[in-house]
Chain A
Amino acid sequence: MQKRVLQLLADNNSGVLSRISGLFSRRGYNIESITAGVTADPRFSRITIVTSGDRDVLEQIEKQVAKLEDVRTVCELKPDESVYRELALVKVRTTAAQRQEIVSLASIFRGNIIDVAPDCVIIEVTGNQSKVDALLKLLEGHEILELARTGIAGLSRGSEGVTHLA
């Protein structure tokens, strides 16, 4: 099983996300995460899908996704030629005494404390998935009250593979 990050440019039509996720469930493909957002041109959405499977399956996934009428381009975001980022919000229970420790943990990961309550804080951290995982690992000694992860968004490096939307 290999992991693969696919980037799609799709028409920003209603239901496009459901068509894509429907395709994955119908054909039994894995989705680890899927994120979607409008591009600079509001007619289009950029969708980043993290999927996994063996080589043949991954090839099928790309072809099947490309076949969807709303999908304009599909490309693989290879790790060494792309950047990935994920945002995570972590609500951690703290006492006043523990708070400083949490704050310094967060700052190691260039995380921000975006909310402080008497008994908990919310850390915002951005990075690739392994960075988020690493922060969570370090927080294991604390009680994580709530966790929200966005799944990754990605772009290829450089200007070579850019699709001009005009």
Chain B
Amino acid sequence: MIGADAIVKCLEAEKVEQVFGYPGVAICPFYNSILDSKVRTILVRTEQNAAHAASGVARMTGRPGVCAVTSGPGATNIITGIATAFADSIPLVVITGQVNSELLGSDVFQEADITGATESFVKYSYLVRNVQDIPQIFKEAFYIANSGRKGPVLIDVPIDIQNAYVSKFSYPSEVSLRTYKPTVKGNAVQMKKVVYELGNAHRPIICAGGGVLTSGAKLLVRSFAEQHGIPVVTTMMGKGVMPTDHPLYYGMVGNNGIDYANRAMNEADVIMMVGARVADRAVNQPDLITKGKTLIHIDVDPAEIGKNAISTIPLVGDAKTIFQELVEMKFSGDYDDWIGTLEEYRKNHKNRRNPSAAYVDPARFIAMLSGAMEENAVYVADVGQNQIWSCANAVIRKGRFLTSGGMGTMGYSIPCALGAKLAEPDRQVVAVCGDGSFQMSMMELATFVQHHIQAKIVVISNGYLGMVRQYQHYAYKDHYSVVSLDGSPDLEKLVSAYGFDYLRLENMRNAKRVIEKFLKDENNVLLECIVDPMDLV
């Protein structure tokens, strides 16, 4: 057995079902070995998308997504994907080939210091120096990626190590790291304080972030809220923690959120932040959520607590473990007046949109599309105006809402949807992107075709990089610079070349019928919606 075989054995031991990647000489021993394995290999069309696809797998399965690329440009191309996963705490194990150990540091062909280059975007990284270390390193990597605050781990494997002889392979059953011991269980004293504060609160609110979903605490947080009648808002990453039509759910907070959700945060007397970073897009002015109120901040990463807002009650631990205990703890509060106030806010919400009838209204379209999707469908939103429309209007019931929140990486939706569909082939998966983000990932249409993964892609077309255009509209008084997408291809011709069906929606008149057709289509399909180029979110 050689190192490459050992790597494949490690992946099998971790029950990895698929590896996304792109071969090159420096990773060829690995790709040679994996041919004899049941682990499926998926050739993406550019390395960045291998990481996004693995991110889709990770988010659906709760286990690290795996990708393997070659040294040099293969490795540097995947950095954006790694950074995207890091920003959203998505567990990945990224394997990169590397030049011969002897030649490291001598700038030979396709050498890149990838452990150095990714230093600030990985949870941890390894450069394998000894082939015998492979089982231990992989065991650790999977453990680190998927425990505590999850995130990407990179393993750089020089080609001579992949080819070196392994004397004895045994995959460790356990891992114990001297310097890495994430806190999972909540401190009992702090838990009591949480319950005490909630019991005495008049206007409590739970703000759920992406951490609730990554830790698998969705149903627990929901039943905790229901048990005590506490209203819930979410960050963008937390969308889906509550079904959109849940009476206790008041929508997404933040500068792209809905007014009554932000109002609820501002007027609450006790805020329970769970698995959320209090980052700028969700909480524009951290002062507002700490001044004169009690902030309970629950996060598995102690460094997040107090980073952007000083909390009254810090509670470090895994959301699932903490809520398993919290749902058992007794307290009673009366929040009926508060709910009444919030209902009033919700009722008085004015939809200020004034869409032109000559185009598709993206807000209404997204509500209709997601409403018509299967109950447990996966909605993958890209980045741009389309993301904001999706966040505000997508109806999520038992399904998932996946998007690149922290990094805001354009082109995320198509490869992420590919990974999600591969992980759960029986679920309906729809990627919704703009015409800008589509063109950042359109090379992956071939990947769907090659590997027989069903693609359902919606392109919200407005001929602009809409989000930037909108910013230039406000900040530069319509002085548009480098935002026109003139030159974009005819999408019908383009997707036909890949054997996709093409559907087009130019206004809302046929929306229902076209959406139905789109969702029913068993072939790969792309639906292009023509929206007003001047529309604002």
Contact = CB atoms under 8 A, between A and B. Distances in A.
A binds B: yes
Interface of A: 22, 25-29
A28 B116 contact: no
Interface of B: 104-106, 113, 116
Contacts of B104: 27-28
Contacts of A26: 105, 113, 116
11 contacts: A22-B116, A25-B116, A26-B105, A26-B113, A26-B116, A27-B104, A27-B105, A27-B106, A28-B104, A28-B105, A29-B105
Majority secondary structure, B binding face: loop
B122 to A, nearest CB: 14
Contacts of B106: 27
B146 to A, nearest CB: 26
Nearest to B107: A27
Contacts of A29: 105
A26 B103 CA distance: 11
B512 to A, nearest CB: 57
Contacts of A28: 104-105
A27 B102 CA distance: 11
A22 B117 CA distance: 10
A65 to B, nearest CB: 13
Contacts of A22: 116
Given A28-B105, A29-B105, 9 more contacts: A22-B116, A25-B116, A26-B105, A26-B113, A26-B116, A27-B104, A27-B105, A27-B106, A28-B104
A52 to B, nearest CB: 15
Q: 6 closest A-B pairs (Cβ-Cβ)?
A: A27-B105, A26-B113, A28-B105, A26-B116, A28-B104, A22-B116
Nearest to B102: A28
Contacts of A25: 116
Nearest to B114: A26
A2 to B, nearest CB: 18
A128 to B, nearest CB: 30
Contacts of A27: 104-106
Contacts of B105: 26-29
A27 B105 CA distance: 4
Which of B104, B105, B113, B116 has the most chain A CB atoms closer than 10 A to its own CB?
Answer: B105
A27 B113 CA distance: 8
A71 B113 CA distance: 21
Nearest to A27: B105
A53 to B, nearest CB: 11
Contacts of B113: 26
A28 B101 CA distance: 10
B96 to A, nearest CB: 14
A27 B107 CA distance: 9
A126 B105 CA distance: 36
B57 to A, nearest CB: 31
Contacts of B116: 22, 25-26
A46 to B, nearest CB: 25
A25 B117 CA distance: 12
A28 B102 CA distance: 10
A29 B116 CA distance: 14
Which of A22, A25, A28 has the most chain B CB atoms closer than 10 A to its own CB?
Answer: A28
Nearest to B106: A27
A146 B105 CA distance: 35
A27 B106 CA distance: 7
A26 B107 CA distance: 10
Nearest to A18: B119
A106 to B, nearest CB: 32
A28 B113 CA distance: 10
A26 B105 CA distance: 6
Nearest to B113: A26
A17 to B, nearest CB: 14
A14 B105 CA distance: 25
